[in-house]
Amino acid sequence: MKRLLLSVVALSLALAPAAWAKSRSGIVTVEVDLSRQESGKETKLWIPYAVSDQNQSVTDVKLAGDYTSSAVYTDKANGNALLFARWDKEAVSRKLSYSFAVEREEIQLRDLSGKEPAWNPADYAEFLKPTSIGPTDGEVKKLAESITKGKRSVLDKAKAIYDWTCENMYRDPATRGCGKGDVCELLKKPGGKCTDISSVYVALARAAGVPAREVFGLRLGKKAEEDVTGWQHCWVEFFLPGKGWIPVDPADVRKAMLVEKLELKDAKTIEYRNYFWGGIDAYRFKLASGRDLVLNPPQAGAPLNTFGYPYAEVDGKVIDWYEPKTFSYKILFKEK
């Protein structure tokens, strides 16, 4: 299984950043079948709903299924769009298909230097506060202060934390899903996947007074048609006064190092580090952001740590979204 996962990752990162396409487009289809779940129970489903922004265009949305009702909502705290569907307890078949066309642009923000204008941290308080498993005090605060010692500007602090994360975290392919992102545990054992590595960056950045947030999305295939179930990905944005939100992805640096057996000193590692500082590739699109999410309508279960996967409840009981075969869903990509 590990060998299979590594081969998928290798396919995703087979080309050097300079050779990657500037844009990528295709049709994404999410197919869910909850018919095998316990019968005679009300079933609810929430799916991250892709929307257009300045870096991606989402069109030709199609929805089909035998649900009792469906609608598109946003969560109150983060404004994430989500597709909600419900089946009455009498339903025997519980199927839904959601598809859309997406075109994603590469982001390359290279001119980040210059005098930073005055800004009010209170305006970005949401992106400076701790989360349930991402504290900004204690050991996290001490480490952030150590990493950013002598750094005055937001840019210098953000870059110092990026460098530390690239140099001290590592990708652990045995991690389930994208990782939980428990920052205190990760500082003890700094191995994980994209949510883990991104969460450490965000917690350290916030502790250093740099507004930051995780972005949750899905990778797009590089073949004409691919099954991209389980290709969820998490990266980071930090706020730079005068420039806006800047993307960084230390997790993909560490992924490339693992797959290509690179050392920190290798020229290709340096290329990846430069590329993912202020830049991300076009083979991904955004779905959601925020932590400790209460969905809309509210779920019966606890607040969601992240919202990058379909989420479902049968009679208020949460189905394990990390197990798509048991959950019975798949995500397909077809080149447009």
Query: Where are the domain boundaries for CATH 2.60.40 in the chain?
Result: 23-106+302-335
Write down the pTM of the prediction. 0.93
pLDDT tens-digit map of 98-143:
999 999 999 999 999 999 999 999 999 999 999 999 999 999 999 9
DSSP per residue, 285-326:
EEEEE-SSB--SSPPSSPPBS--SS-EEEETTEEP-TT-HHH
CA separation (Å) from 304 to 69, 169, 177, 325? 23, 24, 14, 21
CA–CA gap between residue 152 and residue 199 (Å, rounded): 23
pLDDT tens sequence across 185-233: 999 999 999 999 999 999 999 999 999 999 999 999 999 999 999 999 9
The C-alpha atoms of residue 312 and residue 310 are separated, in whole angstroms, by 7
pLDDT-based confidence at 267, cuts 50/70/90? very high
Asked if 290 and 223 count as a contact pair (C-beta separation under 8 A), the reply is: no
- Per the prediction, the chain carries an average pLDDT of 94
When pLDDT is averaged across residues 51-72 and rounded to a whole number, the result is 98
**Nearest-CA neighbor of 22 among 296, 207, 280?**
280
Q: Measured between alpha carbons, how far is 318 from 314 in angstroms, rounded to an integer?
A: 7
Distance between CA atoms of 223 and 166, rounded to whole angstroms? 29
For the domain covering 23-106+302-335, report its CATH number: 2.60.40
Chain region(s) in the chain for CATH 3.10.620.30: 108-286
Q: What is the pLDDT of residues 138-180, one digit of tens each?
A: 999 999 999 999 999 999 999 999 999 999 999 999 999 999 9
Pairing of strands 81-87, 69-74: antiparallel
CATH of domain 108-286: 3.10.620.30
